[in-house]
Amino acid sequence: MNNNNRGDVKNLSLLGIDDLSQENLHFLLKTAAFFKKEFYKEGRIIHCINHEQTRGLVVQLLFAEPSTRTRASFEVACGKLGIAATSLWNLHFSSMAKGETLEDTLQCLIALKPNIIVLRCGEFKGAESFLRSSPVPVINAGLGAKEHPTQALVDAFTIQEKRGKVEGEKVLIVGDVLHSRVANSNLKLLTRLGAKLGMCTPEELSPVDKQAWKDVVRFESLETGIKWADVIMCLRVQRERHSLRNIGFSMAEYRDKYRIGQEEMEIFRSDGVLLHPGPAVRGVEIANQALNDPRCHIVNQVENGSHVRSAIITLMLNLEIKSQ
């Protein structure tokens, strides 16, 4: 592995894909592949890292919204690098249960001076400027419906791994684009890496920012979209974010028009790749037959989460990588 050509992280924190330069992106995809290869060879990646650099480093996680994959994979990624990870996630047992605000909770964690804060939370007023002013680098692990940059990096890595490249790949995003931070980050990242994007979404769940999505091909019919696509990326229907909206259709109607099942897999290309950032709602977004199909790489996405996040931490902390 070449330690040069990684580029500095443009801003101190990783809040969105725009914080990463092209050099950063290529470094992250290459480093994640290197870590995965070494992990398969040696069962660990600690030998790839200079222990003197990581000794005593601490990553602090704060998860104010539910998570399985992102939180666990950050903890595993830190462990594999020999970095301590400490998590605040059961907020009923934090001082937020006593009325402390999220901002004040974050100020407490900043005062403890961990080396990185990994944050998942809903949107809050002034979030961007508040987080940008943190002297401790913050990694966005899912901020409301805004962005989820580390998930998009996992998705791009998985597409590259399974399809051999991202450039020129036709990626069909299916489902609740309106509420999806994953879709917003993938729009930026996959476009920058040269993929072509399509979307198939109910009008009620299509993005509000038409300008940002103007170059994305819109498919009214799922069948036409699937015949066009090399990669299908299903999204979760984010019912917890629908509460203030009258969505205008039932889950049964959604399932009938947008679920990926046996019939959809039959018309999908034989070497296509089916992805879902998870958690997938079985039977609504995706049927068991599709989950069991060899073209479904959702489990690989989860596995790749730890390698990609180890690479992200390596970049953010400017850790040296040892080839041997």
In the complex, which residues of this chain contact ligand CP (CB under 6 A)? 67-70, 142, 151, 277-279
Q: Between residues 7 and 144, which has the closer beta carbon with respect to ligand CP?
A: 144
**CB-nearer residue toward ligand CP: 60 or 67:** 67
Residues 6+ apart with CB under 8 A from 2: none
Minimum CB separation from ligand CP for residue 276, in Å?
9
Tokens representing residue 156 in the block = 């791009």
Q: What is the per-residue burial (b if ≥16 Cβ within 10 Å, else e) of 240-257?
A: ebeeeeebeeeeeebbee
Alpha helices for the chain (secondary structure H): 22-42, 51-54, 69-81, 102-111, 127-132, 149-163, 181-192, 222-228, 251-258, 262-267, 288-291, 298-316
Assess contact for 5 and 27: CB atoms under 8 A. Answer: yes
CB of 263 to ligand CP, least distance (A): 26
CB 261 within 8 A of CB 238: no
For ligand CP, the closer CB: 66 or 194: 66
For the bound state, the minimum distance from the C-beta of residue 7 to ligand CP, rounded and expressed in Å, comes to 26
Closest CB 306 distance from ligand CP, rounded Å: 12
To ligand CP, the closest distance from the beta carbon of 120 in angstroms equals: 7
Cβ distance to ligand CP smaller for residue 33 or 153: 153
Q: How far is the CB of 102 from ligand CP (least distance, A)?
A: 18
Q: Which is nearer to ligand CP, 198 or 278 (CB)?
A: 278
Q: How far is the CB of 301 from ligand CP (least distance, A)?
A: 8
> Do 158 and 217 touch, CB atoms closer than 8 A?
no
Q: Do residues 195 and 305 make contact, with C-beta atoms less than 8 angstroms apart?
A: no
Q: Which is nearer to ligand CP, 72 or 251 (CB)?
A: 72
Please say whether the beta carbons of 237 and 285 come within 8 A: yes
Contact 124, 103 (CB under 8 A): yes
Q: Which is nearer to ligand CP, 60 or 151 (CB)?
A: 151
Q: How far is residue 217's CA from residue 186's CA, in Å, rounded to a whole number?
A: 15
Contact assessment for residue 196 and residue 241, using Cβ atoms and an 8 Å cutoff: no
What is the DSSP annotation of 194-208?
T-EEEEE--GGGS-S
The nearest distance, CB 124 to ligand CP, in angstroms, is: 19
Please say which residue, 175 or 278, places its beta carbon nearer to ligand CP: 278
Strand partners, 173: 199, 233
Measured between its terminal Cα atoms, the distance across the chain in Å is: 9
